[in-house]
Amino acid sequence: MFNNAARVIAKAVGVLGICAIAVGVVMRIAWINDTALKLPAVETHEMHENVSFDGAFLSLASENTSGYSVNVTNAEKMSYNEYIERYGLDKSKTFEGLDSLSLICLEIEVGNIGNSDGGIFLFECNLVPERKNTYYIADTWLWAESEPAITDGSMRYIKIAPDSTYTIHVPYKTNIRDEEEQTEYKRVIEDSEFNLYLSNMPIRKEIHVIAEE
């Protein structure tokens, strides 16, 4: 009789243990669904819209984007040589063979209302094609050819005077850096529709871009 009672108790303990594990698994799934799987809301805008950051940022809240806005006023496919000829300060920096439509040039009007010490990491904002299996990056080295304030192509943080606007021409390219063969300027970009990702948190802001040829 003692052995039978022990077996009954052992079975009861085992059932309780299984129930506890099951409850734990359910609670864990509920926690994941309630936290880790929550994605930020997405706010999509079109070209020619003035898109305010409203404090939204890419990775660090310290970016201090309040008061800043961007407006993509034009998007165009062009070659390295064409970019230099249009926007470069030194027109002699063209090269034979770099005439492929390897760039997406965005004309962007940056605005700032009342922010004296913030800015935006515009050149970390990737341009993602509609197919979403790759992305294009801002070519800061080439952009420096059109802006006297940049001397080494490493500019990342865009800051303008309070209560002003400033227009820039940002070339986006394939994510390659080949100084010897310049492959990135020979590879044609076939995509025409993109989303420019401006921020990730607490809301993802993006601009739908259509590039002309």
174-207 tens-digit pLDDT: 998 887 889 999 999 999 999 999 999 999 999 9
pLDDT less than 50: residues of the chain:
2, 13, 19-20, 22-23, 25-26, 30-32, 35-36, 153
Closest CA to 69 of 160, 194, 143: 160
pLDDT on residue 20:
46
Q: What pLDDT does 61 receive?
A: 78
**What does the block give as tokens for 167?**
């227009």
Cα distance between residue 138 and residue 127, in whole Å = 8
pLDDT recorded at residue 213 = 84
pLDDT, residue 3, reads 53
pLDDT for res 174: 95
Does an H or E element contain 117, and which? none
